[in-house]
Chain A
Amino acid sequence: MNLVNFAYGLLLLLAAFVFQTTLTGINRKVVARLQRRRGPKFYQQFIDIFKALSKGSTTHGWVFDFGVIMALGGIMATAIFIPFGPLKAVPGMDNIFIIAYVLAVGMLGMAMSASGSGNPWASIGVSRALTNMLAYDIPFMMVVFGLIFAFDSSSLSGLAAIQREGGLLGWNVLRFPLGGIVAMISLQGMLGKKPFDSFIAPAEIASGPMVEYGGRHLGMLFLLHEYSTFIEVSLIVHLFFGGGATVLEFMVKYAVIYTFLNLVSNVLPRFKIDQAVTFFYKVPLAMAVVQTFLIIFLGMGVA
């Protein structure tokens, strides 16, 4: 760890921000086309974020501010761990469990800040978000557990490299199709896209955790959202789609997966929170357990 790592980290953060935010903008356009609208400019997302940052804001006390800073900081730190294709800011730190748990710092920070506003909608939203997390994370972790056992490595880039050795058929999504499906469903949950977006439901709980945010707080949360999307989609790209030997490969895979999920999201209604939990525990979890069982006890797809 030296200054160069931090400089790389900063660059990586910038790149991730530009990439993901552009992609979000493009996706807004895509969705608009899907709905037969013209849609906003492809850089609309940048405008939104900068506008929010430029505005005045209100605060409900130090924990309201601190939580937002902690959330964005935690998520940014996580993003630094993520290999951007072959590029890594800090080598040897892309352990999947580290990422999974550092990610939680951001979640906790945001939850804390939201509850710190004293608005019950925020707390309801947080309670839903955390419940959602309990639902989608376990099938996902289960599949990841199987992968780690299969390849004896918990490094994202290591797992990606192993997949690339086998060419297209080496991709985990093809080797372990059940696990791949589980991961995609879980990713949908992680991203908070439909049908698993009940925690921000704007019409019933006034956008949940976000209810009290405006101005720079809101802008930072938008940044946070972009980064966490980047982290989560990158996880799947690395774990199941062979990562990227080049930056371009990575970006293309990333964009395809992200757009695909967005399209899926836009044709689905919304689960209630208990329905989401039941769904995740009935279908993806069962699939994940079967997949892990196949990997661990039968060695299916491993060698």
Chain B
Amino acid sequence: MVNPVLLIALPLLLAFVSIVFKAYKNNLLVFGTLLNAGLVLTLNKGQYIIGGFQPPFGINLVLDDFALTGILIINGLFLVITLMSLEKLEGFASVLLVALAGLNGLVLTGDLFNLFVFLEITAITAYILSSASKEYRYAFNYLVLGTLGSGLYLFGLIVLYAVFGTLNMADLSVKMAAVDASQLVLPSLLIFIGLAVEVKILPFNGWVKGVYSGTNSLVGPLFASVYAAGMLFVFGRIFAQVIPLGTYLRTSLVVLGALTLLAGEVAALSKTRIREILLYSSIGQSGLIAALFLSGLVFVAVMQLVNNALSKAILFTVAGQMADSTGTDEGEELQGAFLEHKIAGVGFTIAALSLIGLPLFYGFISKMNLLFGIFYSDNYWLPVVILLGTVIEGTYMVRLLVKLWTPGDEGIVSEKAFATERPLTIQSSKVMGIVVLSVVLLIGGLLPAVIQDNLTDSGSLLDEVTPAYLFDLKGGQ
């Protein structure tokens, strides 16, 4: 019954209100995120037309399973992350409200130009948030590259509009499908690059290093899980459902995604700072998910996306908090950091293991499904890349975990005395948030049906892949 446009309008409204009532802006933010999260649960699927013009002429919101999963993840994680790091808001409350609106809009919109608008709104909030680290140079880099991406996206859009005369997604997908895909390489590629900047596909992701490596416990998880999830949902929407890719372009882009995965993992392996490790891991995961979307495996891509978003929220929160309270996130200097923070440590561990895809955690379920999916699309090389990536990812994650849990040099028994003396504090709100997210990961791993059922139909807008390959968790066969 509730119109999903409220998800966009309400935060925007609250953002304007918060500018007026500066004193209450944090409360307004909490109120807005809570309200949004509550609203998500009451939504019904369907098409919502804004302004009375029927599509393809008017603007419309599409709330299918895919979008529903998207806003569920975005609003849910946004809420948890905000609540975890309220003390880090520092006047970003209004920006965050705008960001929430933008992200919801991204996922919900059914129109490519509308999407561009939301993309810009979201990007602008991201630029602002990235300046929270006081490294304005990196924020500026981000701004430059983000603008470049938007520009290319817009350019691609113009070409499409010139050819097909419409920007409505459903309409466009039908019209584009009728044309030989090889003639649409340029606009598809332009749109791809435009989105790839935000999705962090190699080599368009030069900004990530600077921006992510300085994030605090609020901005880090927001970027790595909420923003990343939002952008990937858009990416999936467009490339799995709207723009049909020719074999050539599809293969090239999947290769690019696979390369991103490998490059990200390999780069993470060579790093020692926790946030740097995590940011490269994020790049790798983005590459993987993008490759899955490009292969048309929407369902498993969403599963992996959820896994990545949940895990990264925990990981970046802890890493950001470490950097915030101790002034460093160098793994070597934080040896044994979890000794005094066991719950957060366990959460961090669960998140890391889930990210690697180890059993008992949700990551395992998603990794199994995505591998089965890829095999069923008769692609035998991508699993090799993914498994290689998993090995590398496991290596650096375990290396990091071992360091954070058990201090001590090689050759001597690990002892409490070797633990770091830096004063690490983790607020109870963060601990609680971490517990909630880890429990979700655990439940997803042990009783996958709970998460599964909410995702089952999210690949169904164009439904080119029926999820028949799904590893049936109840039968095992």
Are A and B in direct contact (Cβ within 8 Å)?
Answer: no
Interface positions of B (Cβ within 8 A of A)? none
Interface positions of A (Cβ within 8 A of B)? none
